[in-house]
Amino acid sequence: MQYLHLDSTDPATNLAMEEALLHVLHEGGPGYFLLWRNAPSIILGRNQNALEEINRNEVTRRNLAVVRRSTGGGAVYHDLGNLNFSFLEFQKGILSVDFARYLAPVQRALRRAGVEATLSGRNDLEVQGRKISGSAQRLAENRVLHHGTLLVQADFEAMTRALQPDPDKFLSHGVASVRARVANISEFWNEGMTLETLCELLREEVGATPGHLDPAIIALAQRIRRERYGSWEWNIGSSPKFTARMARRFSWGRVQICVQVRKGRISECRIYGDFFAKDDVHRLERLLEGAPLRRAELGLRLAEVNFSSFFVGCTEEMDSEIRGFFLSL
């Protein structure tokens, strides 16, 4: 197995490199063990509704990347205090996932660092009942991708803010994340340990030898990044069908917006409430239908709307308030 330490901290680039290496695996060829880190970002599970998992205000404020991986499981927050590992192997005839196989050398490395980690459930590592690592796995035509996180010195306060959506806003058909009690490995490891030392212990326990990236693999990864992991269509637009529902009371009445969303676009919109309408609100509903659920796109659709012409009591001075409500979809 070849060892690669990825220099990039861009999540889309790193996930694209995993995908490229998975493509080139072949029978008799070497497998790969990767260690990599991401700048602050949110990594979604393959089947999740992106907008249900994130705090969009926090994502916008901090300009956090939101990237969907190819494996299942829940959403995770990454920063430079989080070390990611990946195993990629060709296993002819493999039919089922095996988390323990890949977590065993990780446990051995942690033990050498002074951290006694136990396997919890199917795919987590815990210390004293607190989660320090989560994994996900994918099988694809005799190829295995197993990747996971190691919380070394992660910022849990930032993690909580980023992964704290409004629980009343979405009724989803996706797979919601399960939040767990977490801990940093640095709380338990031996005095003098560093992230760099932990990387070396992991490489030794895996038994991987230093490898290199061919230019052809780098080019393939760049193409995959452009077409998949760097695209809105994959990261947000591929969210499962869901219903978004939000309501707010204004001085002139309560407005509730219910939208059906498919592949990141509003397929159906209904506006309800106890307000009195001047113009037919169905015109406003039709204006929103077909729009991507993105603030910029919604803003373009609503740019010429005079909300005071729809809602009795909504003055032109209140326009920015009701407009902001619609843009927060």
pLDDT score for 168 = 47
User: Which of the given ranges, 20-29, 48-57, 177-186, 255-264, has the highest pLDDT on average?
Assistant: 20-29
Q: Which residue has the higher pLDDT, 49 or 220?
A: 220
**What is the mean predicted confidence (pLDDT) over 57-68?**
93
Examine the pLDDT at 243 and tell me if it is beyond 90. no
Gap between the Cα atoms of 38 and 8, Å rounded: 8
Residue 91 CA, distance from chain mean position:
28
Band of pLDDT at residue 237, cut at 50, 70 and 90: confident
Band of pLDDT at residue 45, cut at 50, 70 and 90: confident
pLDDT score for 314 = 87
Residue pair 209/134 in contact by the 8 Å Cβ criterion: no
Amino acid at 18: E
Q: Which residue has the higher pLDDT, 222 or 176?
A: 222
pLDDT score for 12 = 98
User: Which of the given ranges, 28-37, 42-51, 287-296, has the highest pLDDT on average?
Assistant: 28-37
Examine the pLDDT at 147 and tell me if it is beyond 50. yes
CA-wise closest residue to 99 among 115, 82, 85: 85
Residue pair 129/70 in contact by the 8 Å Cβ criterion: no
Calculate what percentage of the chain has a pLDDT beyond 90.
57
CA distances from 110 to 172, 201, 205 (A): 37, 8, 10
- Any residues with CB less than 8 A from the CB of 92 and at least 6 apart, and which? 27, 142
Mean pLDDT (the chain, rounded) = 89
Gap between the Cα atoms of 200 and 86, Å rounded: 15
State pLDDT tens for residues 104-132: 999 999 999 999 999 987 789 999 999 99
Q: Which domains does the chain have, with CATH numbers?
A: 2-237 (3.30.930.10), 242-327 (3.30.390.50)
Residue pair 72/175 in contact by the 8 Å Cβ criterion: yes
State pLDDT tens for residues 262-279: 888 999 988 887 777 767
CA-wise closest residue to 288 among 279, 280, 300: 300
pLDDT score for 99 = 86
Residue pair 41/66 in contact by the 8 Å Cβ criterion: yes
Name the β-bridge partners of 50. none
Gap between the Cα atoms of 222 and 245, Å rounded: 38
pLDDT score for 15 = 98
